[in-house]
Structure 1
């Protein structure tokens, strides 16, 4: 066994633990069975969940057996939020999300070998639990005083909307998960985010009261951004792990755009490079931050880890083609669509392209020049490009031959000078 706790601490992945010395002994002297839970309150996991998945992966690589719980029961309720009561989703919707999230988690863990991962669902032991059993066998071990002290609960009680008994009971259900998993699988450690600390310790306390057992809880810190904005959010919304919700291209751009003040911290948390390798990247990056070597290393590794090598290759090829004048025609259609989605754009019809649209007009349609005369000037001065090919002659036109495959539609990429990009989408009428 390796001293994985020290490794996690060196990567700033330990915020809280129930008994650090006892946990260290357990992790270095035996194979620990541990679990981490995910509630299906959305169709996909997001960037914050990735911290927990990768922490589980690190523990497994250190010789410990992971159980990944997707909460088919707790997902029907949802952990209380500061902002107010959740909308309860239909059972069939939650069931579908359980399957989707299981599939996402399974890509990261090893399901073979002596510490093979195992998926579990708390609906298996909660679904048949009667109200009387819940109150007599579980609820009686929870102190209302302690439950009220939980930050989210206290905040909600002080708000005008209060908190429902349903959401108030969430921590009892999660505590019961630890008890059941200990009984069924011998699990002695639960991991999660520091915002879940009250839920983590409720399970450990329940085991102490019911089974007279001492078990462990380990919480990772919440990831923050130096600029004060929420980690895992962009102007267009949450960064999801599902490529249908956040494309591999947009996912890679999130990491490439990481703030210089944050990127080395992110490498420690999300990268599986050794601490020595990360230190080498840090030294080279701080000596030449303009190279963005740290962001590139981070983006390449995590995009490949989440979306696969081929999708990562396509995403970076698209970025290279768009911003450094590379070849656009070899880019996968869906990737090109995602890469051009945020560009200023206009529309032209297939019929217009049959006749030919002047490059000057095309530049104006895409919104990268103010007028057709500005477009003609850009062409005359040698600063106009169609699909990264320089335009020669003021009479140049774009035609159907210039249309690139962009998934569900065609697109023509336009550029003025080195950095001003735009696109034309091809419509039927």
Structure 2
């Protein structure tokens, strides 16, 4: 099975400019293929990850990935589908974002094979206004540009000339990469179809109709309920571990619905068809074991954050489920309890009843606190406490930074020591 057949099986092909020509090309030789990303932020989220997972598949199939960080295009902004103009960033912010995205790409693509990261600022910034208009603007028909879906959707509310010309700049990128980096395929999301076809049209006008260049887009990924994939209850799921911890990242994937998990295994893992088919059977016959979800979480977390992050995420998950939080490290507490109820407490030792009522407000009254303690419903740092005279000393555990309280079977609280 070649790369295109595999992508079709995974449901990862939306549109192709020329299926037969593209199929012939990828079967003949190693080919250059590029995906671009504008530095509108300093981290990708999992929605951004989709085309780069496909690019990684091409890399593993022996092809040559080229990643374009849009330092030039990102400084002006592409027309979004949000019916409004993007807010222009300062060049200092653009450069900061470029560096952060480059580091993420190197982590994803730098482990098994040659790849390139380039910045379109390097060539776009050298174009004068007259060069742009004479050499490129003359080759684009305004009527055709207006009919591109992303532009047409903005005509009612208006679009600036700056964003209107974005498709020309992206087309110049494709031409530059064709000439200088041996790139013949551009890959992008479904919303990039208009920009991609503008690029293939430009190359054919400049280099001739026999130039072998192709465009390929990926479908918009939707959940089984019809909503857009990519966000959790807390918002975007980021690749930056400072924005979304590896534990939170792992939890996002392990909590996917049975109706979606096989689709995501096809998109986001490099498991074979046979392996995914076996997991699909288990979803149907033993859904309570959630083996497909666990495998999805392991594979994607390892790809983005590495094997140690998977071990840590699994350790935190097991500890929270079993209640054995005493085995967690201080760093693991930071990850696992990031979104749990928390309070600030003094570092001074205090009687447990006073601490639960006065210092943390975990218990509403001393009577209730004593009752819960004597009934064995209170655990401090994983240890069941049944003595109402017990003294809590925050310095005893987790480097003196945290005290973990569990009330009942599942109710956790985190006390952060001031």
* TM-score interval, normalised by the smaller of the two chains: over 0.9
Give the CA deviation at 1:357: 3.5
Match of 1:171 in 2: 167
Deviations 1:132-157 (A, max 9, x none): 11111111111212211223322222
Match of 1:348 among 345, 348, 372: 345
Equivalent in the alignment of 1:290:
288
The 1-side partners of 2:260 and 2:172 are apart by 37
1:217-268 CA-partner distances (Å, limit 9, x unpaired): 1111122222444322122221111111111111111112212211111111
Deviations 1:56-90 (A, max 9, x none): 11101111111111111011012111221111111
Q: Supply the distance in 2 between the matched residues of 1:384 and 1:195 (Cα, whole angstroms).
A: 53
Distance change >3 Å, CA 164–CA 374, structure 1 → 2: same
Cα distance in 2 between the residues matched to 1:374 and 1:246:
37
- SS at the partner of 2:108? coil
1:374, CA displacement in angstroms? Answer: 2.7
In the other structure, the counterpart of 1:337 is 334
Aligned twin of 2:132: 134
CA distance in 2, matches of 1:364, 1:3: 66
TM-score w.r.t. length of structure 2: 0.94
CA-to-aligned-CA distance 1:182-233 (integer Å, 9 cap, x gap): 1112211010111111111110111111111241111111222224443221
SS in 1 for 2:326: coil
Q: What is the CA-CA distance between 1:24 and the residue it aligns to?
A: 1.1
Secondary structure of 2:310's counterpart equals helix
Q: Give the distance between the partners of 2:241 and 2:17, measured in 1 at CA.
A: 37
> CA RMSD, aligned part only?
1.9
For residues 172 and 164 of structure 2, the distance between their equivalents in structure 1, rounded to whole angstroms, comes to 14
> After TM superposition, where is structure 1 displaced by more than 6 Å over at least 4 residues in a row?
none
User: Can you give the 5+ residue segments of structure 2 that lack an aligned partner in the other structure?
Assistant: none
TM-superposed CA distance for 1:112, in Å, is 7.0
Match of 1:425 in 2: 416
Q: d(CA) in 2 for partners of 1:155 and 1:376?
A: 64
CA distance in 2, matches of 1:357, 1:171: 67
CA contact (8 A) 1:344 1:368 kept: no
What is the CA–CA distance in structure 1 between the aligned matches of 2:354 and 2:197, rounded to whole Å?
Answer: 65
Decide which of 159, 180, 189 is 2:176's aligned counterpart.
Answer: 180
Report the CA distance between 1:35 and its aligned residue: 0.9
Deviation at 1:305, TM superposition (A): 1.4
TM-score by length of 1: 0.92
Quickly say closer, same or farther: Cα 1:65–1:387, change in 2 above 3 A.
Answer: same
